[in-house]
Amino acid sequence: MNFTKELNIEAGKAICYSGFREGQSPETGVFPTYEEIKEDLLMLHNHWKYLRLYDCDLHSEIVLDVIQNEKLNFKVMLGAYIAAEMNNFGCPWGGSYPEAQLNENKERNLKQIQKLIRLANQYPDIIFSLSAGNEATVDWTDHYVPVKSVINYVKMLKEGAKQPVTFCENYVPWLDKLKGLVDEVDFISIHTYPVWEYKNIHEALAFTKENYFAVANKYPNKLVVITEAGWATHSNGRGINPNNVSEEYQEIYYNDLVNWSKEAEILTFVFEAFDEPWKGSDEPLEPEKHWGLFTVDRKPKKVMKSIFSESI
């Protein structure tokens, strides 16, 4: 099947972008400014064609505004970040909420989907695809949403906007739990993180390929996109062995991943552009904070130093 012709989605350099800097966070409502996002996108625009944004919040609105106003050549996958609609007592970092909170989340999720439709129609030449959520059905998520709800959100998006619709999730649920969703989405989006699954750098690319082909071979009539794959540069030892992460290992995995994706013509979003210190615990070496190809102060890590100078 010619997915490029059917969906108008082709392989190209792609990256996940979230522009929150020191002291900024979606949780506190302190967002990057227009000028800060413009600075970021001017850094990225000659090197990546696709951006992935996670939420229909002020951050994403500013990003879309900057791309349009500054006439930057990006294509955006825009997502709706859907919150917990069910308790997930198996989540190790808290997936339990009062019933009132779950009901409030359902109302918020509906508004997120409606806003995603509005933005999709407002920026049809910039937004190339829509995601109905992110990691909301995997066993360990703290924002669990039943598959039936995700299917309903996908249907709403397809009815309200013209862009292809997907759902971004770890590769594992696609192999079983999300079979019913496969028929509804226009393409499948998977996440693969070898280092989270205790793989070292020598096993990394082979494991990513294994994850990808497990899904792609199961659904040969669906395009499979990798919407997250990356390598952390620090760890406090929780979930990731500190011996498995470094800037050197990130560089190796990034180059292997990008080269394989290009050869295999797979659209792969690298996670992520910049470190995000607001994420995870207060511990400075929390791995969630250290996936960027650049530090939070916009300095290139080792993987980017051949392209970007230290003077940025």
Q: How do the domains of the chain map onto residue ranges?
A: 3-304
Mean pLDDT is lowest, of 30-39, 42-51, 265-274, 278-287, for 278-287
- Whether the CB-CB separation of 138 and 169 falls below 8 Å is answered with yes
Question: 56 vs 30, 80, 283, CA distance in Å?
Answer: 15, 6, 28
Dihedral, CA of residue 19, residue 196, residue 144 and residue 160, to nearest 10: 50
pLDDT value of position 312: 42
Nearest C-alpha neighbor of 301 from the set 273, 260, 276: 273
**Averaged over 201-229, what is the pLDDT?**
98
What SS3 state is found at 308? coil
More confident residue, 23 or 3: 23
pLDDT value of position 141: 96
Residue 9 pLDDT > 60, yes or no?
yes
pLDDT one-digit tens code per residue, 78-134: 999 999 999 999 898 889 999 999 999 999 999 999 999 999 999 999 999 999 999
pLDDT one-digit tens code per residue, 297-307: 999 999 999 98
Nearest C-alpha neighbor of 224 from the set 162, 146, 167: 167
Residue 68 pLDDT > 70, yes or no?
yes
**Which option is the CATH number for 3-304: 3.20.20.140, 3.20.20.80, 3.40.1160.10, 1.10.3720.10?**
3.20.20.80
pLDDT one-digit tens code per residue, 136-182: 999 999 999 999 999 999 999 999 999 999 999 999 999 999 999 99
Structure tokens at 216: 């792609």
pLDDT value of position 152: 98
How far apart, in whole angstroms, are the C-alpha atoms of residue 222 and residue 176?
A: 15
83, amino acid identity: A
Residue reference for tokens 């969630």: 288
pLDDT value of position 2: 63
The DSSP secondary structure of 148-215, one letter per residue, reads HHHHHHHHHHHHH-SS-EEEEEEHHHHTTTTHHHHTTSSEEEEE--GGGGT--TTTHHHHHHHHHHHH
Task: Provide the 8-state DSSP code for 82.
Answer: P
What SS3 state is found at 93? coil
For the entire predicted model, the pTM comes to 0.97
Residue 310 pLDDT > 60, yes or no?
no
Task: Provide the 8-state DSSP code for 267.
Answer: -
Q: What is the mean pLDDT of the chain?
A: 96
pLDDT one-digit tens code per residue, 27-37: 999 999 999 99
**Averaged over 41-67, what is the pLDDT?**
97
Instruction: Tally the residues of the chain.
Output: 312
pLDDT value of position 90: 85
